[in-house]
Amino acid sequence: MSSRQDRQRSSQQRSRIAGLAARLMAEDGITDLALAKRKAARKLGLPDCAAMPDDSEVEGELRTYHRLFQHAEQQARSIQLLRAAARVMETMQSFNPYLSGPVLERTAGRYTEIDIQLFVDSAKDVEIFLLNQHISFSHSPPRSDRAEAVLTLVCDDVVANLVIYPHDEERVTCKTRDGRVRERARLEAVNKLLAEG
């Protein structure tokens, strides 16, 4: 088989994995892109060494899936998540909050949780603040080595994760697994997204 045919087959395989991974994320609530890709490859009967799509390919397929099959639901959910994010960010304003993840990237679906990054001297300061405000929270495992802690709370029936980083990490650019810069937004930008609908 020629190298051109190999590339074409690899491209088709990546596309099939990306499409199924997006469906699994939209329908089954999988939030981890790597896990969704692995499950999709297994469901397609592909070996572990199969060529996997980039995260951006899956996110593109997820946007397409939402647009085709869950448009009204996804739009309503996106607004609900943005409103809840704005409320949490307003409450946490003294801790330099940034919205990041699927809510900001407009790939949020019915199972998406809000991710808000906080940059503080100590995670204990955030915990004490929440206790003083009578806001219930629980601890969740950090998803990266850089995060000091993750505090999970519920706002407007939506789960919000406060991902706490050391104060000096605020100027560090976060990247996705495939090397893209992870976007983040301040409260003003979130309110602007809400105003645009």
Q: What is the mean pLDDT of residues 154-163?
A: 92
pLDDT band at 139 (very low <50, low <70, confident <90, very high): very high
Residue 149 has phi, psi (to 5 degrees) of: -165, 165
Tracing tokens 């297994």 back to the chain, one arrives at: 42
- The pLDDT, as a whole number, for residue 165 is 93
- The pLDDT, as a whole number, for residue 42 is 93
Q: What is the mean pLDDT of residues 22-34?
A: 88
Predicted confidence (pLDDT) at residue 1 exceeds the cutoff of 70: no
Q: Which CATH number fits domain 72-196: 3.30.420.40, 3.20.20.100, 3.40.50.300, 3.30.460.10?
A: 3.30.460.10
Residue 145 has phi, psi (to 5 degrees) of: -70, -25
The secondary structure of residue 118, as a DSSP letter, is E
Predicted confidence (pLDDT) at residue 53 exceeds the cutoff of 70: yes
Distance CA 10, CA 3 (A): 10
The reported pTM is 0.77
List the single range of 55-69, 148-162, 166-180 with lowest mean pLDDT.
166-180
